Structure 1
Amino acid sequence: MSLQMTMLSKLRCITIDVTGTLIAYKGELGDYYCMAAKSVGLPCPDYKRMHEGFKSAYTDMAKQYPCFGYAAKMPNIKWWKQCVKDSFVRGGYDYDEETFEKVFRRIYSVFGSSAPYTIFPDSQPFLRWARQKGLLVGLVSNAEYRYQDVILPALGLNQGSEWDFGVFSGLEGVEKPNPRIYEIALAKAGNIAPHEALHIGDSMRKDYLPARAVGMHALLLDRFKTPDAENWRKSGAPVLPDLVAAQAWLSAEDVPNQETVREMDGLN
């Protein structure tokens, strides 16, 4: 019998980021804002201006009312209404109240469905494999309640078959990169020791560093060939192209060093 241990045998739990890791946005923000405007007979807003408007409106809302208004006890729909209204105004579109209400309702319902998202083909098999191996699987995401209740199930990611527990910032009042969100995940997994858990994500700042800060193992996925990935590797982080490679990495005897990770990266 081999004395080498797999990473898998050291773990009791895997936590995983959602957007960019398990699912991705389809199309551009402008596509959905354009559809909503056209549905009430308005011309399509300028994509670039809407994108910039949304970015600054979202950043400001997240600063003013973090975790989708959790501390302020702001209803989710109210948080998004203010954010979307602001996005249009900053993009140069100031609709009257009645028109905006119709446009907003369309946008809010689309983003509360699976329509703007696509699931990576390796997501469901990986999560099922991990659970089959006896690991607890937790989702850790800066997202609101509709991810848990509507969007993920509609994409085929169900609690009980693909994942065991979720830590969503809108429901917990803590968001990444605050390491506290990972402590909440460990508690939900049954107060397991950090070294018995691995976090998989696509952001050095939000996923890798805070998970490592609480003592968890961590792994970064580079699905989109980001220029940052080279720096991630240089800093010593394991970086893999997808969850197929992550499954191989977890199952490899003697936890792979950077060389092995590079080889596996090169195979894809």
Structure 2
Amino acid sequence: MKRNLLLCVDAFGTLFRPRSPIAEQYGTVARGMGVKISDDEVAKSFRSAFKEVSKAYPNYGKATDMGARQWWTEVINKTFQPHHKGPLPSDLVPNLIHRFWSQEGYTAFPDVLSYLQSLSTQPARLASASPRLVVGVITNSDDRVPDVLSSLGLRVHHLRHGSKVEHIRQTSEPKDIDFCIMSYDVGCEKPDTRIFAAATSLLETILAAEGSKFEQKDWELLYVGDEVKKDAQGAIGAGWNAVIVDRGGEKDMAYEGDAPGVEGFMEVQGKRVTILEDFKALGTYGGHDLLSFD
């Protein structure tokens, strides 16, 4: 077993989930402003709007300098306009954007905060530690993710793909998340191997800023997510190990996931992938020693 560990995790569906189904939240807010629409209509219209805007403005509008807020404005408008005569209520878009930029729209899974906060107190998280543990996020998302995670109670370092890291100041307050890699910044989505390469590149930059060198042979790379194709296949294709967390929750009509629906393990591209029922089980599933603590 390699001494050092880079643990990266997915965000949506792995660390947090909507407080209630997306369509229900959209519908409740809209109906409160006079838009007559059912949750089923919201779900169907949202899926259609999301696909249409994604095709017209890929990567949440980053490629065309639209920006994530305007991108979501387009999605929200296209979701509700077919079901409402006249202009939409002026507060609808900003209300929904604010809701899904924070804990108002999302909640952390019960096991996430306690486990990540416990990991942050481990000696292996210190820059001078040997062995060393670094924890990051890799997600197909726009730049909302750090703000959402922070609002949920996690301490998130500002580092992300493209950050200039000349010197990392050591503080007495540990971080739960050392960096975030978002498809919005990288320009490609999981399962593309380049988004995983962005994480190892940032790790190399962090270590260099601390005065040490990244030697890949000394590091295990482990990715934890909730989808087989995007998460497990993507990670393994990039040379990482993978774990699937499948909590067996209800399916969100506005979200298309593909968790396997079983526990134990499965084979992905010739490699064994462990399937866990919750996030904290990482500490006992038989993986890296740095994930287990008293």
Question: In structure 2, what is the Cα distance between the partners aligned to 1:55 and 1:14?
Answer: 32
| Pick aligned residue for 2:41 from 46, 49, 53 | 49
> What SS class does the counterpart of residue 101 from structure 1 fall into?
coil
> What SS class does the counterpart of residue 45 from structure 2 fall into?
helix
Unaligned runs of 5+ in 2: 126-132, 158-174, 205-213, 250-257, 290-294
Question: In structure 2, what is the Cα distance between the partners aligned to 1:44 and 1:94?
Answer: 7
AA aligned opposite 1:246: L
Question: In structure 2, what is the Cα distance between the partners aligned to 1:183 and 1:113?
Answer: 28
1:238 CA displacement? 1.2
2:166 paired residue number: none
Distance verdict in 2 for CA 1:34–1:192, change over 3 Å: farther
Could you report, residue by residue, the CA deviation over 1:57-79 in whole angstroms, capped at 9, with x for unpaired residues?
11222233222111111122211
Are residues 1:127 and 2:116 paired?
Answer: yes
1:201 CA displacement? 0.5
Unaligned runs of 5+ in 1: 254-268
Question: In structure 2, what is the Cα distance between the partners aligned to 1:249 and 1:128?
Answer: 19
2:13 paired residue number: 20
1:151 paired residue number: 148
Could you report, residue by residue, the CA deviation over 1:195-244 in whole angstroms, capped at 9, with x for unpaired residues?
62100001111111111111111111111168724496254321111122
> What SS class does the counterpart of residue 91 from structure 2 fall into?
helix
1:27 CA displacement? 1.1
Q: Given the two structures, how large is their TM-score scaled by the length of structure 2? A: 0.74
Kindly indicate whether the alpha-carbon contact (under 8 Å) linking 2:223 and 2:231 is maintained by their aligned counterparts in 1: yes
Question: In structure 2, what is the Cα distance between the partners aligned to 1:224 and 1:36?
Answer: 28
AA aligned opposite 1:103: L
Question: In structure 2, what is the Cα distance between the partners aligned to 1:215 and 1:139?
Answer: 17
Are residues 1:174 and 2:197 paired?
Answer: no
2:90 paired residue number: 101
Kindly indicate whether the alpha-carbon contact (under 8 Å) linking 1:35 and 1:44 is maintained by their aligned counterparts in 2: no
2:226 paired residue number: 202
Higher helix share: 1
| Pick aligned residue for 1:61 from 38, 53, 61 | 53
Q: Given the two structures, how large is their TM-score scaled by the length of structure 1? A: 0.80
1:193 paired residue number: 216
Could you report, residue by residue, the CA deviation over 1:113-161 in whole angstroms, capped at 9, with x for unpaired residues?
211211112212322344424311011111222221x211110112142
> What SS class does the counterpart of residue 63 from structure 2 fall into?
coil
Query: RMSD in angstroms over aligned alpha carbons?
Result: 2.4
1:252 CA displacement? 7.1
Kindly indicate whether the alpha-carbon contact (under 8 Å) linking 2:228 and 2:259 is maintained by their aligned counterparts in 1: no
